[in-house]
Amino acid sequence: MFASAVMFPVFLGLSFLVDEPVPLLLPLIVFIVGLSIMLYSRIFEEAAVPSHEVQQMKLGTAFGTTALPAAPNLPTNRVNAQKVRTSELAQPASVTEQTTRLLDKD
* Domain boundaries along the sequence of the chain: 2-47
Burial bucket for residue 34 (CB in 10 Å: 0-12, 13-18, 19+): middle
Q: Distance of alpha carbon 58 from its chain centroid, rounded?
A: 17
Taking Cα atoms as reference points, which of 39, 61, 62, 59 lies closest to residue 51?
59
Q: What are phi and psi of 74, to 5 degrees?
A: -95, 130
The string of pLDDT tens digits covering residues 12-47 is 999 999 999 999 999 999 999 999 999 998 888 877
Burial bucket for residue 8 (CB in 10 Å: 0-12, 13-18, 19+): middle
* DSSP for residue 47: P
Q: Residue 9: pLDDT band by 50, 70, 90 thresholds?
A: very high
